[in-house]
């Protein structure tokens, strides 16, 4: 092994370890992803300090729009509908930002080599196989396995047991294609395709519609960018930005557009699951609250405290907004208004433009685009945009992918043209 290869293995081990642990942690206790990202951040900081850290070495550009969005969220404390809630949310988001800055901002400084890719591919292989085994055992035991370990309460129904791993299924959906590329380059195509197939089975057998959609989107976007190159990537980026900026405009067509869509589907004999029916009420309620405060919003983190949110939907006997909007775009709009939505759009544009500009290998650009699109689509349909574990999942995916795949394609690979 050359001196450079030894240096590579020594420098990159925190990312390899994080990659090996991310998926199993998401099954055992998905909230553990946030502490895992924090540990990775401290490790890479310690390594950079030993190498002679200077602030300019940590790249701020990928996360600068998030910093601007965060600053606007801090300012919203001045007009927040519940300043106490906003003040409680703000420090945790600052912490998320600092961890993301350390992890993503130093990932590009990792040195790549064949030894690095191969060892990291085996680390990921161990992580994903452990994850698939944990999900299988958890489901077949109806939750008794994790109950015996003290991780959860008894779950007697196997369907409910499988649903308990929904967050893990969404994380698998995001990591599946980047992991496949890593395995392909580090170990070989047969292993990569076999693991990707196993991931697809787990995702589609899960009870998570968001994971199903996220996996399909990841695959479709990856294929589209692989075939169409820069033009397709530019179109997808512009489409994402337009959705962020124009989603509340649906109310111009109908006062309750999502309920209108639900009724229309029902008239065609397409009945939605109860959870999806509830989402249509949630989205329409949030659209009404956005219309009340369209420019600056109601304040950071106050979705649960919106006026009328705890009133019951007569047809379902559920609150209009029990927790959060289950839609990242609407959550930013209702809390931070049009200005916050502009910040979110800028953040998405920066991520996708960075993929287009910084990655010369078409396969890597395609996979990164697919993973980014999957993360955004899942966030559109499932979790709170401010959840620390969900932000950590994105940080871990972006950091690991950048460290081991960005710009590391074969010399004969085509650029993103």
Domain borders along the chain are: 3-245+328-404
For residue 149, the model assigns a pLDDT of 64
**pLDDT, tens digit only, all 417 positions of the chain:** 444 444 444 457 888 999 999 999 998 888 899 999 999 988 888 877 777 766 666 777 777 888 888 899 999 999 998 899 899 889 999 998 889 888 888 887 765 555 678 888 999 999 999 998 888 787 777 666 666 666 655 555 555 555 667 889 999 999 999 999 999 998 999 999 999 999 998 898 887 888 999 999 999 999 999 998 888 888 999 999 999 999 999 988 888 898 888 888 888 888 777 778 888 889 988 999 999 999 999 999 888 888 887 888 777 777 787 888 888 899 999 999 999 999 999 988 888 888 887 777 888 889 999 999 999 889 877 788 889 999 999 999 988 888 888 754 443 334 455
Question: Whose CA is closest to 344, among 68, 76, 88, 78?
Answer: 68
Residues facing residue 312 across a β-bridge: 319
For residue 366, the model assigns a pLDDT of 92
For residue 38, the model assigns a pLDDT of 93
For residue 229, the model assigns a pLDDT of 83
């Amino acid at each position: 092994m050359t001196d450079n290869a030894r240096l590579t293995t020594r420098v990159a081990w925190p990312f390899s370890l994080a990659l090996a642990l991310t998926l199993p942690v998401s099954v055992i206790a998905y909230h553990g992803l946030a502490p895992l990202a924090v540990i990775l951040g401290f490790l890479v900081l310690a390594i950079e300090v030993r190498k002679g850290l200077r602030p300019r070495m940590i790249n701020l550009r990928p996360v600068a729009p998030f910093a601007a969005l965060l600053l606007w969220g801090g300012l919203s404390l001045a007009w927040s509908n519940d300043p106490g809630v906003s003040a409680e949310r703000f420090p945790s988001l600052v912490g998320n930002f600092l961890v993301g800055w350390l992890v993503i901002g130093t990932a590009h400084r990792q040195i790549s080599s064949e030894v690095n890719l191969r060892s990291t591919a085996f680390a990921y292989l161990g992580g994903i196989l452990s994850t698939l085994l944990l999900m299988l055992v958890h489901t077949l035991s109806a939750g008794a396995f994790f109950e015996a370990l003290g991780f959860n309460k008894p779950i007697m129904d196997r369907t409910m047991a499988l649903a308990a791993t929904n967050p893990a299924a969404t994380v698998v959906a995001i990591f599946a294609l980047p992991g496949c590329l890593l395995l392909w380059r580090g170990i070989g195509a047969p292993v990569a395709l076999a693991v990707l197939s196993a991931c697809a089975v787990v995702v589609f057998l899960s009870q998570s519609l968001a994971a199903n959609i996220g996996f399909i989107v990841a695959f479709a976007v990856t294929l589209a960018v692989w075939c169409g190159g820069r033009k397709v990537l530019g179109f997808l980026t512009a489409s994402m930005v337009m959705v962020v900026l124009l989603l509340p405009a649906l109310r111009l067509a109908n006062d309750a557009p999502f309920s209108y869509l639900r009724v229309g589907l029902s008239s065609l004999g397409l009945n939605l699951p109860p959870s999806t029916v509830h989402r249509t009420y949630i989205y329409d309620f949030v659209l009404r609250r956005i219309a009340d405060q369209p420019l600056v919003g109601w304040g950071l983190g106050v979705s649960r405290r919106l006026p009328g949110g705890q009133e019951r939907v007569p047809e379902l006997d559920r609150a209009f907004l029990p927790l959060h909007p289950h839609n990242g775009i609407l959550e930013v709009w209702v809390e931070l208004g049009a200005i916050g939505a502009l910040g979110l759009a800028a953040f998405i544009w920066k991520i996708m433009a960075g993929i287009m500009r910084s990655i010369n290998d078409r396969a890597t650009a395609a996979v990164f685009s697919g993973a980014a699109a999957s993360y955004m689509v899942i966030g559109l349909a499932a979790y709170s945009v401010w959840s620390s574990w969900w932000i950590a999942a994105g940080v871990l995916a972006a950091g690991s992918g950048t460290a081991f795949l960005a710009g590391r394609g074969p010399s004969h690979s085509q650029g993103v043209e």
